[in-house]
Structures are given as C-alpha cells and as structure tokens.
C-alpha cells in the first residue's frame, strides 16, 4: 500500500506538466479548475 501512495504522490507532482488537460477537483470531486498546459 505504501508503494502506491508514494507512486500516486509522485504522479500528482509530475504529470500535470506532461498532460494535455489538467483538472483540479475539490473534496466532493467536482471540477474547480481546468488547465491546458503549454506544449510539451
């Protein structure tokens, strides 16, 4: 379980810059922000 938590934390930090679209969610998992990072 610890491995997956570590992996998830790493992906949360690194993937938004590599994705085409990033969504920010609130505690109810409703979309609060949509971001289109610059080209890779």
Predicted confidence (pLDDT) per residue in 1-40, tens digit: 788 999 999 998 988 778 889 899 999 999 999 988 776 5
State which H helix or E strand residue 23 sits in.
strand 22-25
Query: What are the sequence ranges of the domains in the chain?
Result: 2-35
User: What pLDDT is attached to residue 2?
Assistant: 87
User: What pLDDT is attached to residue 31?
Assistant: 97
Nearest to 34 by CA among 26, 23, 19: 23
User: What pLDDT is attached to residue 28?
Assistant: 96
pTM, two decimals, is 0.56
Roughly how many angstroms between the first and final C-alpha of the chain, as a whole number?
Answer: 32
User: What pLDDT is attached to residue 15?
Assistant: 86
CB–CB of 24/37 below 8 Å?
A: no
Q: In b/e form, how buried is each residue of 12-32, taking b as 16+ CB within 10 angstroms?
A: eeeeeeeeeeeeeeeeeeeee
């Amino acid at each position: 379980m610890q491995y997956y938590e570590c992996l998830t934390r790493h992906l949360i930090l690194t993937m938004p810059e590599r994705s085409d679209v990033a969504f920010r969610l609130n505690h109810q998992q409703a979309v609060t922000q949509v971001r289109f990072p610059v080209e890779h």
